[in-house]
Amino acid sequence: MNTETRYYMAYIESHEGRRNIVYRDVYGNKTIGVGHLVLATQSIENLNNDEVDELFAEDISKTIAATKRKILAFNSYPLYVRAAIVDGFFRGDLSGSPKTIKLINDGKWREASKEYLNNKEYKLAKQSKSGVWKRMLENSYHFTNYAEEIEGV
């Protein structure tokens, strides 16, 4: 696994956390490890750290591939921006926002940052004080920061 993928994994794990036993996510779905959704076909109850790492590596590989299919110039962005994008795809809040994806692909980073937070889930999470809103806000900040970089602000 390359250094870039490890960076994405550390970024995501800092938000997701790590659990070796099955727990319910905010939607009540069975989850384990670092945000791995337990499928009905899987009979997982607990994992050791090596098994969590293996499962997370598989999940992140799929997420990166899906991200690169949707974000056309993905490899041209700075690492911190790519990590925020991958995190948004991993959680599903960015992959579920075609308007934000279009703005990113159009290079409209400030607008993408605002649209990313113009999200029912973000607003509900902020209201309920769950950790999701802070994570989305951090990703949004990275989009805005990148806009400032390329604009020379």
Taking only the tens place, the pLDDT of each residue in 63-115 is: 999 999 999 999 999 999 999 999 999 999 999 999 999 999 999 999 999 99
Q: How confident is the model at residue 11 (pLDDT cuts 50, 70, 90)?
A: very high
Check residue 42 and report its DSSP letter: -
Half-sphere exposure (Cβ direction) of 47: Cα atoms closer than 13 Å: 22
Return the higher-pLDDT residue of 103 and 123.
103
Angle value at C-alpha 89, between 153 and 143, nearest 5 degrees: 5
The predicted model scores a pTM of 0.93
Q: Which residue has the tokens 């899987």?
A: 42
CA distances from residue 143 to 13, 47, 108 in whole angstroms, order as listed: 20, 35, 9
> How far apart (Å, rounded) are the C-alpha atoms in residues 111 and 104?
8
Q: What is the average pLDDT value for the chain, to the nearest integer?
A: 94
Chosen CATH of 3-151 out of 1.10.150.530, 3.30.70.260, 1.10.530.40, 1.10.760.10:
1.10.530.40
8 A C-beta contact, residue 58 and residue 101: no
